[in-house]
Amino acid sequence: MTGLASLDLAAIPDEDEALRPAVRAFLEEAVCSRPADRRARSWSGYDPAFSRELARRGWLGLTLPPEYGGGGRSSFARFVIAEEMLNAGAPVGSHWIADRQSGPLILKYGTEDQKRFYLPRICRGEAFFCIGMSEPNAGSDLASIATRAEREGDQWVLNGQKIWTTNAHGSHFMIALVRTSGSTSDRQKGLSQVIIDLSLPGVTVRPIEDLSGDSHFCEVFFENVRLRPDALIGTEGQGWEQVTAELAFERSGPERIYSSMVLLDEWLAFVRTKMGGSPASTRLAGRLAAHLAPLRALSIAVTEKLSRGESPVVEAALVKDLGTSFEQMVPAVIADDLGSRAPELVPMELWQTLAYATQSSPSYSLRGGTREILRGMIARGLGLR
């Protein structure tokens, strides 16, 4: 291959697998009694108290250094925690982005003052982040970003709009990709990343209600927002390179595979019963397992690269594209299976969970980069573009 490196099989180290029993025991008590359709919201579920409890147990900021309050563990440790949380349907949405990518980004590109201010707060579950990338009329074409931060004295003055920003209404800070020089015709040039305190005057956050009635996507407007000089993170004009590396954290993990896992578990519990079992459902269960097993192996292989400090951007795009396809397939095929039965024979909780997953699944291939963008990246990785 050319730009797409080979992905050797990797295994989660024993010391990280050892985290599972304690995490499962905690989740069994804290989460598993909740209704399945509520647990199905998982990484869009907002529960700051739950996030702070994870922090108290040392399960936030696992990959960050101890001197900043982190666990000093590898990406495998976070993979184990994330996998268990999503399998149980834990409400991880409040801390999810800060723990997954904002913290590692600040650690890599931030100043010492930025690290000492933000990272301990992330590890304590006190600082929640969102990511400001997509804009109206730009979608996933980040190179056409028009939101601008311009120097005025010793401050940055921010104007523009972001859209499809996950959980902006529940976040304290946004790390946004903005234009600090040039125009949209310059494409990737002149872009920078800034940290925005969302409580500042001039910031307006407007939630967007989706088909399910939830509002985890938002529009965010900036009108003459004055940012401190240290709002810039990394190097001015190098935002494109920084955000590209950041996306490897966003696209490669189990969250791009397990969004429909609560539904799958509920359906499997039903088809294991005398009333729910059938030859067709057994074949379908095998088909889904055959999709899931290599996907998980692929995600672990990318995690291995992240643990070595690499930035497997193209491989992460592959995980995201295949993972969201699986996540969208689960509610579709389960709907076909349940639709072939008498409605009264199917548990109401399973119907409700299916309804939520069906309504939310169109967003899976939108968040974190659309399918078209990802496949363009994969094609370039294969030397085809």
| Catalytic residue list | 250
Decide: 86 and 100 in contact? Cβ < 8 Å: no
Alpha carbons 8 and 25: distance in angstroms, whole number: 32
Pairing assessment for the beta strands 191-197 and 232-233 based on DSSP bridges = antiparallel
Q: Which residues of 235-273 are buried (b: 16+ CB within 10 A; e: fewer)?
A: ebbebbebbebbbbbbbbbbbbbbbbbbbbbbbeebbee
3-state secondary structure of 65: coil
- Reference 51, options 91, 86, 22; nearest CA is 91
Phi–psi pair at 205, nearest 5 degrees: -115, 130
Sign of the CA dihedral running 47, 36, 290, 367: negative
Q: Per the structure block, which two tokens stand in for 179?
A: 């234009």
The CA–CA distances, whole Å, from 129 to 64, 95, 293, 307 equal 16, 7, 31, 22
Alpha carbons 270 and 262: distance in angstroms, whole number: 12
